[in-house]
Structure 1
Amino acid sequence: MDTIKQTTKMEPLSPSVKKQKKKFNVADLIIHLILIFLTVCTIFPFYNVLLMSFSNSVAISKQVVYLIPTTFDISAYSYIFNEPRFLKAFLVTLFVTVVGTSINLFATLTGAYVLSKNGFPGRKIVMSGIIFTMFFNGGLIPFYLTMKNLGLINNLFVMVLPVAINTFYMIICISFFRTLPAGLEESAKIDGANDIQVLYKIILPISMPMVATITLFYAVDRWNEWWHGVLFMTDINLLPLQALLRELLTNYQQVLSSISTNIIVQNTGLHPEMLKMAVLVVSVLPIVCLYPFMQKYFAKGVMIGSIKG
């Protein structure tokens, strides 16, 4: 019995398909070029700051460190990290960021969930009172006296409790919770769940993109906290990192104002611009490192509502 061999040949592409593949899309090219240009404009300042922080006084004086790194000098970082209070200030800021963000999320999410319910008695009055705080406050002196009467002077919680809720972030959460289908809560309550279980087991898991966004906002706010530390901390060992960096930079500039800049640079090898850029890097780097862990929730947020079951 003869074996029948069948060969399959790829059919040639039709002229229309060939024409479509060879077609040059000018609009896409322009869009990509614009996006690349905007990306470069966004990244370049950070790149410039990083280069200058690792440069030396000679290179900065000649302004040759903006595009291509020519030197590598860690004098500015040594000046910052050798500060005896640096580790304590870092731990203070870490405590304020972790504990403060946790309190922020608990107060904001629970409050927003309650205020998103139309059946909550006195909801309009409470919302009016919350929105009122966005436009008016009691002033600095009453605020200081209140914190003093509460025993929060030289207490780390003075950088956490007064800012436990950001009104704008709470309004964002309220608006998001109102977009969720009411059937989710109704079905959960039919199965015997109470309001707390509904919030933490049903609502928050499907609201992770919003929760991640608010978490990042609060974490950045708490990490950059310095005003309350300067205002309420008389013990220099309790200053947050941002306040310490500000103090280092201010003290160095005061020294420069009393002595010739050239003399200071020759004796220490530390140019003022080096210290400024190093302070920026130390301030921003931890938050930049946090973003990749939150990015998946932002990407998921883009897909919400795109697929319906």
Structure 2
Amino acid sequence: MTANRLFNGFNYVFITLVSLVCTLPMLLILMVSMTDEKMIQLHGYQLIPKQFSFDAYNLLLFGNTPLYQSYMISIIVTLTGTAVAVLITGLAGYTLSSNHLKYRNHLAVFFFITMVFNTGLVPWYMISTGLGLRNTLLALIVPSLLFNPFNLFLVRNYMKQIPYSLTEAARIDGANDAYIAFRIFFPLSLPVLATITLFYGIAYWNNWFNAIMLVDRESLYPLQYLLFRLNSEISMIQSMQATMDLGVNAVLPSESVKMATAILTIGPIVLFYPFLQKYFIKGLLIGSVKE
């Protein structure tokens, strides 16, 4: 009994120490984002800054940038795109897991091919512009909307674990495929659906490629692309100051802006993850097992 208590106590202490170590990078990013740029240049990254400065946050939050509008664009795109992508992936997974579907294995091979071969950027751009998506909000949603084959196979493998007798009983009672999918399979597949929701949500929130390729209007810039442009402009100005005698002694907060950017963009994901954490590991492990 005493040995078990000692072992459990050691485990608690060890896990606590590991957790504290894992939080150090995030704490360092937060501290650097609030450090004066000159101190960063002189002393590098420090966990306890020698001089605090909120210039980075003043530039991002109160500067002449449409940050709040971009935040709303990213939130709308993430919520809409994630919801529709999860719905499409769930329905496709249910379809491929149905024993009564003819040629379901052939369809699965068709989707698997897209994981191995990629047509490239030019066809993707031609199709996106041909659909009239350029400079519209749909340009940030539709190109990434089609389900990821990896997520599809996670859902399909998870749904194949559900006893087929439930489907047979529902069909005897007169239920159609829509009723079976939404009232039986989706509730039972909540762990794996929550897992792919996290995958799609992170992908949409961090996506800036669609904006750089299909959006020219500043009013439609998502958060990630806006901050990417801002960091690029700061780096360009610094390069000009270094190569040309502009007579400007001001120090732009380039490093602190990068860290503040990380803090501002990671916030929603950090808040969103705990609600899905209890489903995440279970859905990923069970969905990855193939009978």
TM-score (norm 2): 0.86
Residue 256 of structure 1 contacts residue 264 of structure 1 at CA under 8 Å; is this kept in 2?
no
Aligned residue identity for 1:149: G
2:250 corresponds, among 243, 260, 267, to 267
Q: Does 1:150 align with 2:150?
A: no
The change in CA–CA distance for 1:265 and 1:25 in structure 2 (over 3 A counts) is: farther
User: Shift in Å at residue 31 of structure 1?
Assistant: 4.1
Instruction: Assess if the C-alpha contact under 8 Å between 2:82 and 2:200 holds in 1.
Output: yes
Q: Measure how far apart 1:297 and its partner are.
A: 3.6
Residue of structure 1 in register with 2:67 after alignment: 86
Aligned residues: 281
Query: Percent of pairs identical after alignment?
Result: 31
| 1:223 Cα offset (Å) | 0.5
Letter in 2 for 1:198: I
Task: Tell which structure's C-alpha radius of gyration is larger.
Answer: 1
Which shifted more, 42-51 or 81-90?
A: 81-90
Query: CA offsets, 1:128-182, max 9 Å, x none?
Result: 2211111212221122111111111112222222222111111100110001111
| 2:55 counterpart letter in structure 1 | S
Q: Which residue of 113, 123, 140 corresponds with 2:94?
A: 113
Matched residue of 1:267: which SS? coil
Q: Is 1:126 the counterpart of 2:92 in the alignment?
A: no
Rounded Cα–Cα distance in structure 2 between residues aligned with 1:265 and 1:291: 44
- Do 2:73 and 2:220's aligned partners in 1 also have CA atoms closer than 8 Å? yes
Q: For 2:238, which of 256, 278, 282 is the aligned residue?
A: 256
The 1:221–1:299 alpha-carbon spacing in structure 2 relative to 1, beyond 3 Å, is closer
CA RMSD of aligned residues (A): 2.7
The alignment's TM-score, normalised by the length of structure 1, stands at 0.82
CA distance in 1, matches of 2:5, 2:249: 57
Change (3 A) 1:264 1:193: farther
Could you tell me whether the CA contact under 8 Å between 2:194 and 2:279 is conserved in 1? yes
Pairing 1:198-237 to 2, within 5 Å after superposition: 198-237=180-219
- Structure 2 partner of 1:5: none
Return 5+ residue gaps in structure 2 as ranges. Answer: 287-291
The residue identity in structure 1 corresponding to 2:178 is: I
Per-residue deviation, residues 75-94 of structure 1 (Å, max 9, x unmatched): 11111122332122222211
Match of 2:268 in 1: 286
CA distance in 2, matches of 1:293, 1:70: 37
| 1:194 Cα deviation after fit | 1.6
Q: Secondary structure in 2 aligned to 1:66?
A: coil
2:29 maps to which residue? 49
Report the Cα distance in structure 1 between the residues aligned to 2:183 and 2:171, rounded to whole angstroms. Answer: 12
Q: Is the partner of 1:192 in helix, strand or coil? A: coil
Q: Distance in 2 between matches of 1:60 and 1:290?
A: 32
CA distance in 1, matches of 2:247, 2:174: 72
Match in the other structure for 1:138 = 119
One-letter code aligned to 1:124: N
Shift in Å at residue 289 of structure 1?
1.0
Residues 189, 145 of structure 1: alpha-carbon distance in 2 compared, 3 angstrom cutoff: same
In the alignment, which residue of structure 1 is the partner of 2:161?
179
- Give, in angstroms, the shift of residue 301 of structure 1: 6.1
Instruction: Call closer, same or farther: CA 1:258–1:104 in 2, change over 3 Å.
Output: same
Residues in 1 aligned to 2:197 and 2:234: alpha-carbon distance in whole angstroms: 35
Instruction: Give me the whole-angstrom Cα distance separating, in 1, the residues matched to 2:132 and 2:46.
Output: 49
Q: 2:54 aligns with which of 49, 52, 74?
A: 74
How far is the alpha carbon of 1:282 from its aligned partner? 1.1
CA contact (8 A) 1:57 1:265 kept: no
Unaligned runs of 5+ in 1: 1-19, 305-309
Report what 1:97 is aligned to: 78
